[in-house]
Amino acid sequence: MNLPDGCVSACTACTHRSLLGQQSLNQKFDFLSRILHPWNHLIDPVISVAEDQRIGYRSKVSLAVNLNKNEWQFGMLKKEEIIPIHHCPVHSFPINQLIGFLADILPANADFPLKRLVVSGKQVVLVVKSGQIPDSSWLTDHITFEIKKIGFDGVWFHLNPSTGKRVFGKGGWHLMWGEPISVDEEGLVYGPASFQQLIPGLARVALDTATDFLKPDKNAALVDLYCGTGSGLRRWLFHTQNVLGVELSMEAVRCTLINAPGALVYVGKCSQRIPQINAFLGQVAKVNTSRLLYVNPPRTGVEPEITEWIISKMQPHRLAYLSCSAGTLKRDLYRLESGGYTVVRIQPFDFFPLTKHVESLAMLERS
């Protein structure tokens, strides 16, 4: 097996790294066809990036950290053992530079309880297993100058005494240097814990596809659930002023209010915001109004209460559902079809080249 330069054979993250681009896409298409077999005749070929763009694309990482014989290791956990991946070819060049730099300058002693390195674009988070800010005297002006030169805007401590599989806890955020938010290449602001699609160009294509299907216009009322930092909301506002979003993360909502001024945005679980969404629709939805829905839920899929609300109350004319889990998408499509919706198309996207992961945009109409 010919691994890309810098790839560590023991790392299990990129299971498609030995495949050519089209071989990987074929496997992803076959996987979706098996899982989504009732609709496999509606699945389009997977949209991806050029072969030379399959590496160096990951600008957001969450890496386990360990001090081993006075040497810092950053990598993937495998049965409680860390597999160091300091030169991963999938990581962006600035991230690999940052890892090498931190490995050299972090305090090499057991009193510095660093357990995780999380990088979100240009925001760096050091997750420490402590309830108190550890010694930060190492973070000198010279060090921050070098971090800025590599390409990062902010360095945080996140205090989480119970950090483990759940990386972040509630609270415990401390900006140690720099700016609390950054701006991506789309002009969208984001924070240290914000969700971002890893390949902006592909994310634009996904939104283009959803827009072409939903057909929002000045007479439409569009609800965007699990709206993140508002990339979709900003798009919808080009077509209609009747836009509402719901997002669980307060940080993401703060960013959304900057990214999509004019959109009505609520923080909380989508199922908890049903009364506010109903009130919004009651105000803006007239007889000739197109009710449109866009959802981009986590791997757990759409909340059951939301699925029931879609079917019984909102009854959108068109629905676009971007899913990162074929299993929960299958479950939700069954529920929506039983409630009077028809799947008209499924467009897969290769947001994670070299890995087995594939996302799908399902498009449904009211029967």
Tens digit of pLDDT for each residue in 188-245?
Answer: 999 999 888 889 999 999 999 999 999 999 999 999 999 999 999 999 999 999 999 9
Distance of CA 279 to the CA centre of its chain: 29
> What integer pLDDT is reported at residue 2 of this predicted model?
65
Residue 215 backbone class (left: φ over 0; alpha: ψ -120 to 50; beta: rest)? left
pLDDT digits (tens, 9 = 90+) for 15-66: 999 899 999 999 999 999 999 999 999 999 999 999 889 999 999 999 999 9
CATH 3.20.20.480 fits 60-190, yes or no: no
> What integer pLDDT is reported at residue 165 of this predicted model?
75
User: Is 329 in a helix, a strand, or coil?
Assistant: helix
User: Is a pLDDT exceeding 90 seen at residue 1?
Assistant: no
> What integer pLDDT is reported at residue 109 of this predicted model?
86
| CA atoms within 13 Å, Cβ hemisphere of 184 | 24
Count of helices and strands (H, E) across the chain: 9, 16
Mean pLDDT, the chain, as a whole number? Answer: 95
Quick one: pLDDT band at residue 336, thresholds 50, 70, 90?
A: very high
Q: Quick one: fold of 200-366?
A: Rossmann fold (3.40.50)
- CATH 3.40.50.150 in the chain is located at 200-366
> What integer pLDDT is reported at residue 220 of this predicted model?
96
- CATH 2.40.50.1070 in the chain is located at 60-190
User: Is a pLDDT exceeding 90 seen at residue 133?
Assistant: yes
**DSSP letters for 182-249:** EE-TTS-EE-TT----S-HHHHHHHHHHHHHHH---TTEEEEEES-TTSHHHHHHTTT-S-EEEEES-
> What integer pLDDT is reported at residue 170 of this predicted model?
85
Residues facing residue 116 across a β-bridge: 64, 127
